[in-house]
Amino acid sequence: MACDKVEDALAFEKNAMGELGLIDEIIPRYRSTYFAHIFSGGYSAGYYVYIWAAVLDADAFDAFKESGDLFNKELAAKFRKNCLSEVGNGEGMDQYRKFRGQNPSEEPLLKRRGLK
């Protein structure tokens, strides 16, 4: 659906849901107007932090999946040391790289959310 300007958010959403085939009995949990606080009052930076935390969470979990053992004690100890215990000892991303051995990837989060 291409759209240059939306005059009526509720009508736009109803039309979009109709195009998706969403039945009337399924009411969307979130509406466009629910997110107004993101774009005013400084919340956008905080929201970014939530998304970035989700990226790190998904990427860290991927490390355990890649190891072939979700309960990998060595990897867990490395995570505990670098990301929890010593996190104040250096830049956060440096600490994460010490755990993961690489920069975090957004791919695991995209897959988790069904976007890849």
CA 65 to chain centre: 18
- Tell me how far apart the alpha carbons of residues 51 and 109 are, in angstroms, rounded to a whole number: 9
Q: Which one, of 33, 65, 38, lies nearest residue 49 by Cα?
A: 38
Does residue 2 have a pLDDT over 70?
no
pLDDT in tens, 9-50: 888 888 888 888 878 787 777 777 777 766 676 676 777 788
Give the orientation angle of helix 43-67 with respect to helix 92-100, to 10 degrees. 20
Does residue 3 have a pLDDT over 70?
no
Which of residues 92 and 48 earns the better pLDDT score?
Answer: 92
Q: What is the residue extent of each domain of the chain?
A: 8-40, 42-116
Helix residue spans in the chain (DSSP H): 9-20, 43-67, 73-79, 92-100, 107-112
Task: Kindly indicate the confidence band of residue 81, based on its pLDDT and cuts at 50, 70 and 90.
Answer: very high
Determine the pLDDT at residue 27: 78
